[in-house]
Amino acid sequence: TQLLEQSPQFLSIQEGENLTVYCNSSSVFSSLQWYRQEPGEGPVLLVTVVTGGEVKKLKRLTFQFGDARKDSSLHITAAQPGDTGLYLCAGALGYKYIFGTGTRLKVLA
């Protein structure tokens, strides 16, 4: 049973479009992280959100943590080909980090 479900699983869009990726769970997390992974490499942290309702911005990326700390979203404005990659959310449960199923994004020039 996957604790963290991400949607959509795949996304192919044109450069300049906006998109939102969702990360949902029935569990409450003490914090939630978003990572991006390139082919042949390990995931790299983008952001950590801690407080319910928290919003963080990283250039064109906006991250939101749900009020109940069970879900999160990642919104990308005016996507660029450099945004292409696998996006993973990860929730902190005690000592463990549980990862979502991943969203594979492809931005076409």
Partner 1 sequence: NAGVTQTPKFRVLKTGQSMTLLCAQDMNHEYMYWYRQDPGMGLRLIHYSVGEGTTAKGEVPDGYNVSRLKKQNFLLGLESAAPSQTSVYFCASNRDRGPDSPLHFGNGTRLTVT
Question: Which residues contact partner 1 by CB under 8 A?
Answer: 2, 4, 6, 9, 30-31, 33, 35, 40-45, 48, 50, 88, 90, 92, 94-102
Please say which residue, 76 or 89, places its beta carbon nearer to partner 1: 89
Closest CA to 7 of 65, 70, 87, 76: 87
Q: Which of 77, 81, 66 is nearest to 32 (CA)?
A: 66
Q: Rounded to the nearest whole angstrom, what is the least distance from the CB of residue 40 to partner 1 in the complex?
A: 7
Q: How far is the CB of 19 from partner 1 (least distance, A)?
A: 19
Q: What Å distances lie between residue 7 and 21, 23, 88, CA to CA?
A: 6, 7, 11
CB of 15: closest distance to partner 1 in angstroms?
A: 26
Give yes or no for a contact between 26 and 70, defined as CB atoms under 8 angstroms apart: yes
Q: Least CB distance from residue 88 to partner 1, whole Å?
A: 6
Token pair for residue 39? Answer: 């082919």
Would you say 35 or 63 has its CB closer to partner 1?
A: 35
